[in-house]
């Protein structure tokens, strides 16, 4: 449990495609449980999932930037109607803020939230 109604799943060595596949498996599994919830849009418990992935050669991303990207993707999923998955396509590395912090330098695209 990460906080409130939020959970975090860490998948070392998993790229964006793998993270998206796992997120979708979790979403489908929760929906398939058929847990009733009077306040839910469809009367059932569902989950919205936001995920972020970073794989070499992008470089080191601080934990705060990584969590921020996943959180932004989560809120995109909620705005999209809930019970859906959104994956951050890129996370800005620390080097975008200060090129001296790693060998990769600036130029990695900023967070592009989308399916």
Active site residue: 5, 24, 31, 68, which one?
5
Secondary structure string (H, E, C) spanning 2-43? CECCECCCCCCCCCHHHHHHHHHHHHHHHHHCCCECCCCCCC
Catalytic site includes residue 5: yes
Q: How far is CA 47 from CA 75, 85, 111, in A?
A: 12, 9, 22
| Residues taking part in catalysis | 5
């Amino acid at each position: 449990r990460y906080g409130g109604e939020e959970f975090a799943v860490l998948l070392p060595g998993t790229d964006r495609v793998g993270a998206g596949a796992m997120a979708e498996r979790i979403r489908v599994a929760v929906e398939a449980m058929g847990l009733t919830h009077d306040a839910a849009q469809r009367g059932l418990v569902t989950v919205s999932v936001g995920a972020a992935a970073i794989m070499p050669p992008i470089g080191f991303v601080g934990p705060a930037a990584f969590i921020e990207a996943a959180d932004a993707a989560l809120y995109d999923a909620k705005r999209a109607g809930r019970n859906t998955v959104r994956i951050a396509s890129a996370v800005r590395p620390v080097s975008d803020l200060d090129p001296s912090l790693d060998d990769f330098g600036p130029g990695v695209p900023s967070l592009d939230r989308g399916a």
